[in-house]
Amino acid sequence: MIHLANLREQKDHITLFKAFEKLLTSYPEWTLLLVGQDFEDRYSQELHGWVAAHNLSSHIKFLGTRLDVTAILKDVSLGVLSSKSEGLPVALLEYGLAALPVVVTDVGACKEVVQDYGCLVPAGDVNALFQGLMNVLTNLEESKLRGIRFQRHVSTTFGAQAYITQLVAFYKHIS
């Protein structure tokens, strides 16, 4: 499982950690990969401290900033975002292009991007996030099919060709 986000408070890692900790009682083999810049600030210290205090260092991995995100996304089974607020999250588009099943909070443009292709949960709700993760994992084959449909949706709606088509239509309209 991957959480592609810088270590910033708006990304609400603690809610994710709590939901993931609950998930481990049913799926102890799972690992949560955190990919994103670590600013080595108070929030970062809080996150590292929480993981250590809950003895989850073998399950929650801080990978930091990576240049091989595409390769990492090929090796994971699920994308998650636990944000308190978002605009249009690039991570969600990356999850879509990688055909990952997703569980994301219903903030910003997440609902517009995910539509019915993934699981939307309220922000800051540990139990809802846990249930969303459990739903994906207990129905992993169906979730993978949703991930493939999500990939098509992201490619056609947010891909380069979609923007080129819109731009050409715009230029034709103004000329």
Query: What's the predicted TM-score (pTM) here?
Result: 0.92
pLDDT beyond 80 at 164: no
Q: So where are the chain's domains?
A: 2-174
Q: How many CA atoms lie within 13 A of 114 on its CB side?
A: 24
Looking at residue 159, what is its pLDDT? 80
The CATH number, out of the four listed (1.10.3720.10, 3.40.50.300, 3.40.50.2300, 3.40.50.2000), of the domain defined by the range 2-174: 3.40.50.2000
pLDDT beyond 80 at 160: no
What pLDDT digit, counting tens, does each position of 99-137 carry?
999 999 999 999 999 999 999 999 999 999 999 999 999
What pLDDT digit, counting tens, does each position of 62-94 carry?
999 999 999 999 999 999 999 999 999 999 999
- Residue 80, SS3 per DSSP: strand
User: CA-CA distance, 80 to 89, in Å (whole number)?
Assistant: 12
pLDDT beyond 90 at 33: yes
CB 151 within 8 A of CB 95: no
What pLDDT digit, counting tens, does each position of 36-65 carry?
999 999 999 999 999 999 999 999 999 999
Q: Which residue, among 124, 119, 127, has the nearest Cα to 19 in the 3D structure? A: 127
